[in-house]
Amino acid sequence: MAEGMNRLIKLRHLYADAETISLIDGIGKLTELQELAEFRVTRKRGHQIGELKELRNLRRRLTIQNLENVENKEEAMEAKLKDKLHLDSLWLNRKPDIHSAGDREKEILEGLEPHCNLKELRIQHYGGTTSPDWLVRNQHLTNLESVYLNNCARCESLPPLGQLPFLKLLHLMSMPVKRIGAEFYGDAEQAFPSLETLKFESLKEWEEWSEADGRQFLARLRVLHFYDCLRLRKAPLLYLTSSPLVELSLKHCGDLGSALPGCLQILSSLNQLELYHYAHRTEICLSNLSELRELHLYHCPELSLHGGLRSLAKMRHMETEGCPKLYETSQPGQEYGERELRSLCHLHTDENLINNVWFTLGRLSSLRNLALHSCSDLVSFTVEQEEWFQQQTSLEHLQFLNCPNLQALPTSLATVSSIKKLSIGNCPKIGSLPNSGVPMSVKEVRIWGCPSLSDRCRKDRGPDWPKIDHIPRVCIDDELIQMT
């Protein structure tokens, strides 16, 4: 198919996978071409980077792969990317684990300077020690809206991206940066004036992020993520008071000290908060987060919560697991008055939130999906918990998952007449369904990883089968045994 394609000199649109396109010899002869999603550079004649020279009409996105096959700056300049004024997005990539001189890599990237109209730039597996001059120069790529720098393994400093006036998204990943400071913001009076999404990921050497020396910065920031930044000890979270931040996520992050609890006192616009594997002793208060709608707290063994959760009236989705000290500083006798999580629809939790359940959660009038997950210490349900289950009159999907010591389901289960789906998975000690059975409202039951329970629920022969034989859809150990 690829043979002779270079003779279609009037071709404008080429829709094919990257493998097929890479087989076309002399694709540079297709001078009217407007679509070329990916070009793979080789040293073979007809596949060198100079083939891009006359393709001035390329639009939308161009990905250039295998830049390790470009010899020097002069060869890179043959691509004439600076002439491609219709390109919106440019992705530059070489194979990982290619060892070459950093100076040579920078020179090659210098030769790939794009047109100033560019809106999105992605650089991956760059081996230079500093950024190319065209990314550092002020007033050059001023139309950039998105920048991704990924696995730039020798680049210990960042270009002054804060001076880009229209930059909305910045994602920095796998770089040996230790400190981020003044050089990051550039010389602009206001740093990152349009940035809305900022993500730091796998910056394993990163220790410090400083504010912008009294200048306003990140005035429009809405999303801030820290992933796998275990050495980070300083971040200007307390300087984001004017930012309309709606999403904050920390996963496998260093100890930010008082900055984390402090910022949660002032970021009143926050809609979503995620803390994953935050191992440092910290007490947070969420009472000021009146707009919070989604909360994820996973494996934060030293995290405690002051003031509880019940002031979060707009919360719709909450997941907590592996946070044993969450209510360590709160007392069950504390009064919350009439406050309740009246908007909560989805709750995924271990036993820590259902201990003293009327205190921690109270009545959940809107709860539709409840998953009790990884409750390693839960053996049976207390009278208080049984009464709480009976009050969940909106509950539609109830799940018991990965509870290795749970021996029995709530005896009051049959009275929760709103339940439509019941899932029981990897709870090997549950021996039977409750004597009163399951609610008549249930339309689907799924059971897996519960050997004794599965045997008792076998169709027509298990002693618990009569308790579920009215249910239209029954699936046991991934086998659909009833569908009516």
Question: Please, are residues 218 and 191 in contact by the beta-carbon 8 Å criterion?
Answer: yes
pLDDT at 3: 61
The single-letter code of the amino acid at 260 is L
| Dihedral over Cα of 323, 328, 331, 332: its sign | positive
Q: With CA atoms as reference, report the closest residue to 280 among 263, 256, 297.
A: 256
Q: With CA atoms as reference, report the closest residue to 239 among 224, 254, 255.
A: 224
Q: Which residues of 348-373 are buried (b: 16+ CB within 10 A; e: fewer)?
A: bbbbbbbbbbebbbbebebbbbbbbb
Written as six digits, the tokens of 335 are: 């009064």
- Kindly state whether residue 400 falls inside one of the protein's structural domains: yes
Written as six digits, the tokens of 415 are: 């009275």
Q: With CA atoms as reference, report the closest residue to 149 among 175, 117, 181.
A: 175
Question: Please, are residues 30 and 14 in contact by the beta-carbon 8 Å criterion?
Answer: yes
pLDDT at 333: 47
- Kindly state whether residue 476 falls inside one of the protein's structural domains: yes
Tell me how far apart the alpha carbons of residues 312 and 317 are, in angstroms, rounded to a whole number. Answer: 11
- Kindly state whether residue 468 falls inside one of the protein's structural domains: yes
- Kindly state whether residue 13 falls inside one of the protein's structural domains: no
Task: Tell me which long-range contacts 365-370 makes (C-beta under 8 A, separation of at least 24).
Answer: 365/340, 365/393, 365/394, 366/342, 366/394, 367/392, 367/394, 367/395, 368/394, 368/395, 368/396, 368/397, 369/345, 369/395, 369/396, 369/397, 369/399, 370/395, 370/397, 370/398, 370/399
- Kindly state whether residue 444 falls inside one of the protein's structural domains: yes
Q: Which residues of 292-328 are buried (b: 16+ CB within 10 A; e: fewer)?
A: bbbbbbbebeebbbebbbbbbeebbbbbbbbbebbbe
Structural domain tally of the chain? 1
Matching residue, tokens 């991206």: 161
Written as six digits, the tokens of 407 are: 């021996």
Written as six digits, the tokens of 76 are: 């890179």
Question: Please, are residues 445 and 409 in contact by the beta-carbon 8 Å criterion?
Answer: no
- Kindly state whether residue 482 falls inside one of the protein's structural domains: yes
- Kindly state whether residue 456 falls inside one of the protein's structural domains: yes
Tell me how far apart the alpha carbons of residues 217 and 343 are, in angstroms, rounded to a whole number. Answer: 34
* Integer Rg of the chain from CA: 29
Q: What is the pLDDT along the chain (484 residues), one digit of tens a residue?
A: 556 665 666 677 777 777 777 777 777 677 777 888 888 888 888 788 887 888 888 889 989 999 988 889 999 999 899 999 999 999 999 888 766 666 888 899 999 999 999 999 999 999 888 899 999 887 789 999 999 999 998 888 899 999 999 999 999 999 999 999 989 998 888 999 999 999 999 999 999 999 988 888 999 999 999 999 999 999 999 999 889 999 999 999 999 999 999 999 999 999 999 999 999 999 999 999 999 999 999 999 999 999 888 889 999 999 999 999 988 766 554 444 456 889 999 999 999 888 888 888 888 999 999 999 999 999 999 999 999 999 999 999 999 999 999 999 999 899 999 999 999 999 999 999 999 999 999 999 999 999 999 999 999 889 999 999 999 999 999 999 988 8
- Kindly state whether residue 152 falls inside one of the protein's structural domains: no
Tell me how far apart the alpha carbons of residues 149 and 161 are, in angstroms, rounded to a whole number. Answer: 11
State the residue range of the domain holding 463: 375-484
pLDDT at 339: 67
Tell me how far apart the alpha carbons of residues 309 and 473 are, in angstroms, rounded to a whole number. Answer: 36
Residues in CB range of 480: below 8 A, 6 or more apart: 473, 474
